[in-house]
Structure 1
């Protein structure tokens, strides 16, 4: 790890790619997408020589929990931008991630079948609620480690305010014009266009809040709502269902 590294963390499909691109633009102070794919900066997927070759300051990405981060990141108190998203939209996005990457997952099941995997935590990052409780515990135990929680729904509702909040956390001064331009470049249409005709294109699907209503049955939604109330009430990760 380098002293000026920044980590973008989060459970899969909670806006990690979106926020990673946005943080890159904030740090560069320019509304320009990266000229390389996020996988190069993905700690648990990229070969070390790939992210070692990135210029500083590096914006690194991981889906790992706090305890699984590099020891140096914890020792140096590397700044962390932590994404979160309501579990219902996360589930829908993760299901489509599995379906659209057949060469990786080889999965063709229906959402009704896959939903039980999400509930059981037998998916990429394990149980959604355990994951967030682990981060809540880590933040309580390490209050001196700078960690900013960015909620997907709040970022969608007011992207410019979200950009300012992240920039303040990273101590990057931005003008109103820079914020406006970065917000436009970070918009869903702009992001979709960037990844056109690339392998990543299929991973940029809708970017909506509330699409779960088109997928979850009333019973499925109630199950996730009850689990949210049981495990996330009073934490930093209380879900937002609508904006």
Structure 2
């Protein structure tokens, strides 16, 4: 039996079985399917709160050969549009922005594979998928729900949110469905799967591999080091072009968009019982896939990998 939840998202609707807030209206989701994809497009695909803004900034700088002048003068959400997002108050229409910007485009989405532009299956565009361990995603999403009016001033408790997350009753739907949909695409030539935790712990090595994948293998180690430094959590948190402190809907006093950026912060949030419940649901839904998620910093595991 479907559980019912009292919290309502502004303009919420169910599109092809997936819950969305009003900022991804049905018309925008329909239009995404018909987006004219360019051969040199790079799509960043993440579930919400998996390190999206961080990867947007990194990839935009890699694709634009370290153009720090633009990166420090234009907000990341204008340089790297969120394709299924439409906010009439901000006048921010992701598809409209995407159609206007010059190549190479770095386009952001939180969509499951089946919702993607149809041409991504035909064109030689690049798709970079960033996975993060789901307990940290869930913890971070809870704080984002609390702080952003886009989600309707969530006043529920952590146990309430955890129930919603496990049931897929959150904006952009089930993390489990999203993850399964992209895991199945991981061996395509134009799809590159990354892990937040690896990016955090081995930033430069991960940037070098990413640059190779997107056809920017010629970038120097010095430049990639500069990008890594510019995109460090501390820098991004204080950079007005990436921290979204100018976005009216986010109350950073409750919780800023870039909150902690840590590996394993879930352990401050989950009780032992909640952890066991989460593990059971995970095993039932995705256990058979053997995705190598990392739930703690490497140094606390006692071995690198």
Q: What TM-score does the superposition give when structure 2 sets the normalisation length? A: 0.73
In the other structure, the counterpart of 1:191 is 236
Q: Is the 8 A contact 1:185 1:191 kept in 2?
A: yes
Aligned-pair distance for 1:120? 0.6
Which structure 1 residue ranges, 4+ long, deviate > 4 Å from structure 2?
A: none
Distance 1:232 1:110 in 2: 26
Q: Is the 8 A contact 2:113 2:178 kept in 1?
A: no
Structure index of larger Rg: 2
Is residue 215 of structure 1 aligned with residue 263 of structure 2? no
Distance 1:104 1:136 in 2: 27
Instruction: Describe the SS at the equivalent of 2:194.
Output: strand
Distance 1:156 1:231 in 2: 27
Alignment map for 1:104-143 (pairs within 5 Å)? 104-139=151-186, 143=187
Is residue 90 of structure 1 aligned with residue 137 of structure 2? yes
Q: Is the 8 A contact 2:180 2:286 kept in 1?
A: yes
Q: Which has the higher contact order (CA 8 A, sep 6+)?
A: 1
Alignment map for 1:28-39 (pairs within 5 Å)? 28-30=64-66, 32=68, 33=71, 35-38=74-77
Distance 1:146 1:103 in 2: 33
Equivalenced residue count is: 240
| Root mean square deviation, CA, Å | 2.0
Instruction: Describe the SS at the equivalent of 2:281.
Output: helix
Pick one of 162, 179, 186 that aligns with 2:224: 179
- 1:184-206, Cα deviation, whole Å (9 max, x unpaired): 01100110111354226621111
In the other structure, the counterpart of 2:281 is 227
- 1:28-83, Cα deviation, whole Å (9 max, x unpaired): 22173361332661110142322211111000010111111111122104210101
Aligned-pair distance for 1:9? 0.4
Pick one of 74, 82, 96 that aligns with 1:42: 82
- 1:121-172, Cα deviation, whole Å (9 max, x unpaired): 1011222122211112344xxx444111111111111111111111111120
Pick one of 204, 211, 223 that aligns with 1:160: 204
Pick one of 2, 9, 13 that aligns with 2:49: 13
